[in-house]
Amino acid sequence: MRYDTVIIGGGLAALLCGIELVRNGKSAAIVTTGHSTLHFSSGSFGLYNGAEPLKAVEALGEEHPYSKLGENIEQLAAKATEILNVAGVATIGDAEANHYIMTPTGALRQCWLSMEGMVTSKDGKSLDFSDALILCPEGFLDFYTQFVADSLRRLDVEVAEALFSLPELVIRRNNPTEMRSVAVARALDKEENILALASIISREAKATQTVIMPAVLGFERTDVLSRLEKITGKQILTVATLPPSVEGIKAERALRRTFERMGGVIFNGHTATEYTMDEGAVATITTSKGVTLAANDFVLASGSFIGGGLQALRSGVTEVLFGADVVAPEVTELTNRELFAAQPFMSAGIATDAQFKVMVAGQAVENLYGCGAVLAGYNPVKEGCGAGVAMFTALAVAEDIINR
Ligand SMILES: Cc1cc2nc3c(=O)[nH]c(=O)nc-3n(C[C@H](O)[C@H](O)[C@H](O)COP(=O)(O)OP(=O)(O)OC[C@H]3O[C@@H](n4cnc5c(N)ncnc54)[C@H](O)[C@@H]3O)c2cc1C
């Protein structure tokens, strides 16, 4: 099988790159082992920490992936937002000024975009409601009401807490592993459960206009939150659960569907394990299921350690598929013993040239690009730029391929 471009990945970087290619008339296939780090998402997309992220990135050194994007970051941010929205991932926020999203631990994290319907704050010091009911399914394992309540109280919100159950959830509680976010969200997709939950909200939230729930409102359906708001007349907001994150999974599924609807092909459950070269360019890759794919261009969007693109061996950090050149601290320097300090391993990744072409043995491979978390030169946690780097480098790579 032959495509214009074959992308190795399956996360935010692979999907944005793939969508941009196919909607510009290129044929593209995504080869993916499976779940991406979107399954850990707090429902937010970080561009860079600081009140004004676009200004903050101007000061970055040349090793940072953003520095290879030149002055395009604002346009890339607009294009990334547009693609998310086209895919049905409704967002709030803009790149001019960060806002804050409440994470599962109750902490407020700066971000450029967040998924619509979540608890957010403009300035990190206040919310636009003064009292709220936190309503959580009884026996739910992925959400700690107390973290969220404590955080809301610090923001001067008067908080009440209540648990709820539904006949279907009572049955699920017989097996504690069933009380996880995806299973609960699937249950809440059912019309009879939406109506039952609406009655519970109306009963429990008599004294308040705002109800906060774990982000488990709808898995296949996108209208669960709006239906509940309509029926109850209350403002309903959500906070992401501990992983697996229903919001992140929904975003991944929506982007996948969009890529496929536009003509892209996904080889799901296929790990790229081998490749061949022809005159200094990649000719084919072969997957763990024995499928060989040829293409004019290849994109490595295989993520960092957690995604599977990088591995740390006793001998050092390596890129798994192509053995690309890696920029990384010595193995003994990969971690900082201070748990909350910036962890050096997070800035490890592959070396690329100015167009994100992957360096192997000191040479840029003409038709092999890298994008997303596999890249070196930035720390997604310390800088709050994981999603931004994934999406913007993916779009820059797609643009280079389209214009060639
Ligand atoms: C725990 C956690 C929470 C995060 N939360 C947030 C957040 O709330 N907001 C935010 O902005 N950023 C967050 N980030 C950062 C952000 O999610 C990532 O930086 C970004 O999504 C990376 O996307 P990616 O596509 O480059 O890589 P990944 O998401 O890692 O995806 C890599 C993909 O490649 C596939 N793959 C790997 N090797 C192969 C192979 N050989 N063949 C086929 N497929 C392969 C994997 O299966 C996976 O699907 C978080 C990161 C982590 C780890």
Indicate if ligand 1 lies below 6 Å from the C-beta of 245. Answer: no
CATH number of 2-94+249-403: 3.50.50.60
Using DSSP bridges, classify how beta strands 120-121 and 91-92 pair: parallel, antiparallel or unpaired. unpaired
Q: Is 120 in the pocket of ligand 1 (CB under 6 A)?
A: no
CA–centroid distance, 117 to ligand 1, in Å, is 23
Please work out whether the CB of residue 349 comes within 6 Å of at least one atom of ligand 1.
Answer: no
| CA 41 to ligand 1 center in whole angstroms | 9
Nearest CA to ligand 1 atom 33: 9
Identical fold between 2-94+249-403 and 119-239? no
93 in contact with ligand 1, CB cutoff 6 A: no
Compute CA distances 232 → 189, 192, 201, 204, whole Å. Answer: 17, 15, 7, 11
Mutate to test the pocket of ligand 1, among 302, 318, 378, 391 (most ligand atoms within 8 A of CB): 302
Pocket flag, ligand 1, residue 80 (CB < 6 Å): no
CA of 88 to the centre of ligand 1 (A): 20
pLDDT of residue 177: 81
Residue 236: the pLDDT is 98
| Whether residue 31 has its Cβ less than 6 Å from ligand 1 | yes
CA of 399 to the centre of ligand 1 (A): 21
Rounded to the nearest angstrom, the distance between the alpha carbon of 373 and the centre of ligand 1 is 6
Measure 250 CA to ligand 1 centroid, in angstroms: 15
Could you tell me which residues are beta bridge partners of residue 281? 278
Quickly tell me which residue has 């913007």 as its tokens: 392
- Edge-first strand listing for the sheet containing 91-92: 44-45, 113-115, 91-92
Whether the CB-CB separation of 31 and 293 falls below 8 Å is answered with yes
The atom number, within ligand 1, closest to the CA of 34 reads 47
The alpha carbon of 2 and the centre of ligand 1 are apart by a number of angstroms equal to 26
Side chain identity at residue 161, one-letter code: E
pTM beyond 0.75, yes or no: yes
Residue 65 beta carbon below 6 angstroms from any ligand 1 atom = no
The DSSP line for 4-42 is EEEEE--SHHHHHHHHHHHTTT--EEEEE-S--GGGG--
The DSSP H or E segment spanning 60 is none
Nearest-CA residue for atom 3 of ligand 1: 40
| DSSP β-bridge partners for residue 120 | 101
User: Tell me, what's the pLDDT at 332?
Assistant: 78
Per-residue pLDDT of the chain (404 residues; tens, 9 = 90+): 999 999 999 999 999 999 999 999 999 999 999 999 999 998 999 999 999 999 999 999 999 999 999 879 999 999 999 999 999 999 999 999 999 999 999 999 999 999 999 999 999 999 999 999 999 999 999 999 999 999 999 999 999 999 999 999 998 888 878 889 999 999 999 999 999 999 999 999 999 999 999 999 989 998 999 999 999 999 999 999 999 999 999 999 999 999 999 999 999 999 999 999 999 999 999 999 999 999 999 999 999 999 999 999 888 899 999 999 999 887 778 787 877 777 788 889 999 999 999 999 999 999 999 999 999 999 998 999 999 999 999 999 999 999 98
Which residues lie closer than 8 Å to 262 by C-beta, 6 or more apart?
Answer: 19, 22, 23
Q: How many CB atoms lie within 10 A of CB 181?
A: 25
For the chain, the domains span 2-94+249-403, 119-239
- CA-nearest of 92, 178, 204 to 212 is 204
Q: Please indicate whether residue 377, judged by its CB atom, sits closer than 6 Å to ligand 1.
A: no
**For residues 301-318, b (16+ Cβ closer than 10 Å) or e, as one string?**
bbbbbebbbbeeeeeebb
> For residue 87, what is the DSSP state?
T
> Residue 176's pLDDT is what?
76
CATH of region 119-239:
3.40.50
Going by alpha carbons, the residue nearest to atom 46 of ligand 1 is 307
275: number of CA atoms within 13 Å, CB side?
24
* Measured distance CA(159)–CA(129) in Å, rounded: 11
Q: Residue 305: CB within 6 Å of ligand 1? A: no
Residue to substitute in 37, 103, 256 for testing ligand 1 pocket (most ligand atoms within 8 angstroms of CB): 37
Residues 6+ apart with CB under 8 A from 226: none
Whole-number Å distance between alpha carbons of 180 and 176: 8
With a 6 A CB cut-off, is 372 part of the ligand 1 pocket? yes
Ligand 1 atom closest to the CA of 387, numbered from 1:
11
Cα 112 to Cα 105: distance, rounded to the nearest angstrom? 19
